[in-house]
A and B are shown apart, each in its own frame.
Chain A
Amino acid sequence: NAGVTQTPKFRVLKTGQSMTLLCAQDMNHEYMYWYRQDPGMGLRLIHYSVGEGTTAKGEVPDGYNVSRLKKQNFLLGLESAAPSQTSVYFCASSDYNNQPQHFGDGTRLSIL
């Protein structure tokens, strides 16, 4: 029972490089979310999706783009990585907005 799977688990980038983080869920959830976690700041919402083909901005969307072409996948892109984007990124999904979220194990991203 995989739940929410994030790839990759670790990545080091140089400033200005681009990359895509992949999130896949096998629970047929409508809602999917991308968060970043920084020390002392809890989780901050980057973007979210309320269904296939939809995306919306969260609390800290600048510098990130997302796509939800398939219901089970939610991609997070960094077009031009900056050191301020060094963080741990978590994907989550839920079957409705007020239901508990199921989290992946995170992607630790370092930007040099």
Chain B
Amino acid sequence: AQSVTQPDIHITVSEGASLELRCNYSYGATPYLFWYVQSPGQGLQLLLKYFSGDTLVQGIKGFEAEFKRSQSSFNLRKPSVHWSDAAEYFCAVVLTGGFKTIFGAGTRLFVKA
């Protein structure tokens, strides 16, 4: 079955440390890929997207993500986490020609001082 997997339900990192959030998808073709962030009590906000071309994409708030076709992965990274990055992060995919976005279950990020 087609799916998006975020293996980590929650992650805790120290402020200033680096961050990597994992995302894997199971589709035959390369889909459109997205990362969204959700702060408490708010809707989702787009961090970055990948459609084609350079496999390393830059987003807002200092985030980047790398698409690896061989691993069917689209992991999100940030070199130095700030306390304000504490939130829930969702990976999402849209199949080429499809109408629906499939979201992963989310990874909640905790940042400790």
Contacts and interface: CB of A to CB of B under 8 A. Distances in A.
Interface string B41-73: 111111001010000000000000000000000
B41 A105 contact: yes
Q: Which of A40, A100, A104 has the most CB of B within 10 A?
A: A100
Contact of A106 (B4, B32, B43, B46): B43
A103 B44 contact: yes
Interface stretch (A13-21, A42-50, A63-71): A42-50
A56 interface: yes
A101 B99 contact: no
Interface string A73-112: 0000000000000000010100001101101111000000
A13 to B, nearest CB: 20
Interface stretch (B12-20, B74-82, B103-111): B103-111
Interface string A52-67: 0000101100000000
Interface residues of B, number: 23
B34 interface: yes
A50 B106 CA distance: 26
Tell me the interface secondary structure of chain A in the complex: loop
Nearest to B96: A98
Contacts of B42: 105-106
A43 B103 contact: yes
**By CB atoms of chain A within 10 A, which of B9, B41, B44, B100 has the most?**
B44
Given A97-B94, A100-B34, A42 B106 contact: yes
Interface of B: 4, 9, 32, 34, 41-46, 49, 51, 90, 94, 96, 98-101, 103-106
Given A41-B105, A42-B103, A59-B100, 6 more contacts: A33-B101, A43-B103, A48-B99, A90-B43, A101-B101, A103-B44
Interface of A: 4, 31, 33, 40-45, 48, 50, 56, 58-59, 90, 92, 97-98, 100-101, 103-106
